[in-house]
Amino acid sequence: MRMSTAIALTVGDGSGWRFVNGPWTDGEDGALTIPPDLLNAEIAPLQGAHFAFDRTRAYQDCQVSFDFRLRSHSDAGIILRASDESHFYLVHFPNCGQASRAQHFWAALSKMDDAGYLKLIRLQMVPRVPSTNGVPLRCEITLHGDRFTVRVGDYGRFEASDGTYPGPGSVGAYLFGNAEIGNVRVRGQSAPAPIRRAGVEHPTNWWHPLPAGAGVWQQPIDMKRFDDGELLMLVNVQGDISDAMTAHAQPFLTRSADDGRTWSELQPLGLGEIASSWSPARMHLTARGRLIAMLPGPDHKRVYESSDRGRTWTAAGTTNLHVGPRKDPPVQSLAPMGFLNLADGAVLAFLLHGRDMHDNPLPLHTWGSWHCQAFCARSDDDGVTWSAPVNVDTPGFLDDGTPMDGNLDLTECTAVQLGNGRVAAYMRPIYSPVMWESWSDDGGRTWGPAMRGPFAGYASPNMVRTASGALLIAHRMPGLTLHCSHDDGLTWDQGTMIDTGLWAMGSMVEVAPDEVLYVYWDTFRTLARAQRIRVTPSGLEPVRVA
Query: Which range of residues forms the domain containing residue 65?
Result: 7-190
Instruction: Provide the pLDDT for residue 406.
Output: 92
Judge whether 184 and 8 are in contact, CB under 8 Å.
yes
CA 351 to chain centre: 19
User: What is the C-alpha separation between 528 and 237, in angstroms, rounded?
Assistant: 10
**Cross-strand partners of 224:** 232
Rama region for 99: left / alpha / beta (φ>0; ψ in -120 to 50; rest): alpha
Mean pLDDT of all residues in 174-196 = 87
Residue 2 confidence (pLDDT) above 70? no
How distant, in Å, are the alpha carbons of 2, 125, 130, 136, 392 from that of 152? 23, 12, 10, 11, 38
Residue 173 confidence (pLDDT) above 90? yes
The 10s digit of each residue's pLDDT in 52-63 is 999 999 999 999
Instruction: Provide the pLDDT for residue 221.
Output: 96
Residue 201 confidence (pLDDT) above 70? yes
User: What is the C-alpha separation between 430 and 435, in angstroms, rounded?
Assistant: 9
Counting the structural domains of the chain, the total is: 1
Instruction: Provide the pLDDT for residue 364.
Output: 75
Percent of the chain whose predicted confidence (pLDDT) is above 70: 96
Is residue 426, in this structure, part of any structural domain at all? Answer: no
The 10s digit of each residue's pLDDT in 272-295 is 766 678 899 999 999 999 999 999
Is residue 54, in this structure, part of any structural domain at all? Answer: yes
Q: Is the pTM of this model over 0.85?
A: yes
CA 157 to chain centre: 26
Is residue 468, in this structure, part of any structural domain at all? Answer: no
Is residue 156, in this structure, part of any structural domain at all? Answer: yes
Rama region for 440: left / alpha / beta (φ>0; ψ in -120 to 50; rest): beta
Instruction: Provide the pLDDT for residue 306.
Output: 98
What do you get for the CA distance between the two ends of the chain, in Å?
47
Is residue 254, in this structure, part of any structural domain at all? Answer: no
Instruction: Provide the pLDDT for residue 200.
Output: 65
The 10s digit of each residue's pLDDT in 126-143 is 999 998 889 999 999 999
Percent of the chain whose predicted confidence (pLDDT) is above 90: 81
User: What is the C-alpha separation between 359 and 535, in angstroms, rounded?
Assistant: 49
Instruction: Report the amino acid identity of residue 118.
Output: L
Is residue 446, in this structure, part of any structural domain at all? Answer: no
Task: Provide the CATH number for the domain around residue 162.
Answer: 2.60.120.560
SS3 content of the chain, % helix, strand, coil (to 5): 0, 45, 55
pLDDT tier, 197 (very low <50, low <70, confident <90, very high otherwise): low
Instruction: Provide the pLDDT for residue 273.
Output: 65
The 10s digit of each residue's pLDDT in 132-171 is 889 999 999 999 999 999 999 999 999 999 999 999 999 9
Instruction: Provide the pLDDT for residue 144.
Output: 97
Judge whether 539 and 472 are in contact, CB under 8 Å.
no
**Cross-strand partners of 476:** 480
Is residue 34, in this structure, part of any structural domain at all? Answer: yes
Instruction: Provide the pLDDT for residue 363.
Output: 78
Cis (ω within 30 of 0) for the bond into 45? Answer: no
Rama region for 85: left / alpha / beta (φ>0; ψ in -120 to 50; rest): alpha
Residues in the chain: 546
Is residue 145, in this structure, part of any structural domain at all? Answer: yes
